[in-house]
Structure 1
Amino acid sequence: MGNLILSGGGNAEVYEFLMKFIDKDKPILYIPLAGNEEYRPFQESLAYIKSIFLPLGVKEVTMWTDLHHRTLGDLERFSAVYFSGGSTLTLLRIIKETNFDKVLRQYFHGGGTIFGQSAGAIIFGSDVTHTTTEEEVSRYEPLNLVHNNRLWCHYDVHDEGLLRKYSKGEGDPFLALPDGGAVHVTERQCEVIRKVAYEFKDGRRKELIPDGYF
């Protein structure tokens, strides 16, 4: 069974949770493509990710910046795939246009572990139109692996009004994750693993406590 760990923003305890599911002797695959390389070079981002995982006992972190022609066999070399934050639309566009979304689904359903942070988490929800005003976003269906929930990251109380508004009607509920908050998703269930998360549905907010399933 695959494991999908989604974080509203990085936290050491969330990374330690990831360690439960991986073989530290196999490399972690890092994909920084939501980021803006002009603002922060990918090699600098890789160095930062290594500074997190190597002290936790991971032997190697490998970075991919080209997703063309990647296969399930390529992914199976890695203990986990890590997506960092940035632009949700940029990341989703690249994944869909290279057909990497199909490979990710195979990897997850075959028992692979995926970690997504911020934009790297939102692409696994059921809809991303709330993340941008660009009309182009409607062309790219997200992966919808979070049991028909939309993801909202970096949540704080200032977002509550918008989420109550956006969640009214018949759309999928929002799963709102604060910085440092995270959920663990399998094909069967979702579990809050760090900090209180929130479900917004039909304009109402519900607390989801750590170690609780929803």
Structure 2
Amino acid sequence: MWTNVKDKSIQDLDDFSAVYIGGGNTFSLLKKFIDTAFIEVLKGYTENDGIVYGGSAGAIILGKHITTCSHMDPNHVGLNKFNGLELVKEYSIWCHYKHENDPLIKKYVKEYKAPVISLPEETGILVSHTGIQVIGTKPAYVYQGERKTVIYHDHFIK
């Protein structure tokens, strides 16, 4: 387990079959990855078919834009660039989804003109060459424009 990613390279990741990125404050996590250039290492790793799994903040930074966490994470680090790794096509990720979040998600989609995949507890997505597949015991919810679509286990997000 690494707690410091400074000076890490893609070659350093070659010894591992996958990378897990845990939770915490999303703004702090992304800032650390940007400041240490680890964000580029992760992008290169995934371009070479490396496997990355993110939980909570670790999942949010894999999406297009991280401000989907603004309702739960303060930006104490003064981050002013909010682009994630963009590993989930054009989607941003909303973790810990509850139906009460719908107004916030709709506001986000309208403001950023970007689709969102919302993941309740016990649900995740698998992004591969075949598409974005919902995994877990609960459905995911995709917000595009004014539309909210329910995507069930083992189905793909278009």
1:1-20 aligned at under 5 Å gives the runs none
Q: Flag as ranges the 4+ runs of structure 1 deviating above 4 A.
A: none
125-134 or 141-150: bigger deviation: 125-134
Q: 1:200 aligns with which of 140, 143, 147?
A: 143
1:123-138 equivalence runs, <5 A: 123-132=61-70, 134=75, 136-138=78-80
Equivalent in the alignment of 1:108: 46
Q: Distance in 1 between matches of 2:140 and 2:111?
A: 21
Q: Of the two structures, which has the highest relative contact order with CA contacts closer than 8 Å and spacing of 6 or more?
A: 1
Unaligned runs of 5+ in 2: none
Q: Secondary structure at the match of 2:154?
A: coil
CA displacement at 1:170 relative to structure 2: 6.0
Q: Which has the larger radius of gyration?
A: 1
TM-score by length of 1: 0.66
Identity score, percent: 34
1:156 partnered with 2:101: no
TM-score between the two structures when normalised by the length of structure 2: 0.89
Partner of 1:141: 83
Aligned AA (2:90)? N
RMSD over aligned CA atoms reads 1.7
Q: CA deviation at 1:203?
A: 2.8
Q: Does the residue aligned with 2:103 lie in a helix, a strand or coil?
A: helix
Q: In structure 2, how many angstroms separate the alpha carbons of the residues matched to 1:64 and 1:92?
A: 15
Partner of 2:125: 183
- Go from structure 1 to structure 2 and tell me whether the alpha carbon gap of 1:81 and 1:116 turns closer, same or farther (over 3 Å shift): same
**Count, aligned residues:** 152
Alignment partner, residue 152 of structure 2: 209
Q: Which has the higher helix share?
A: 1
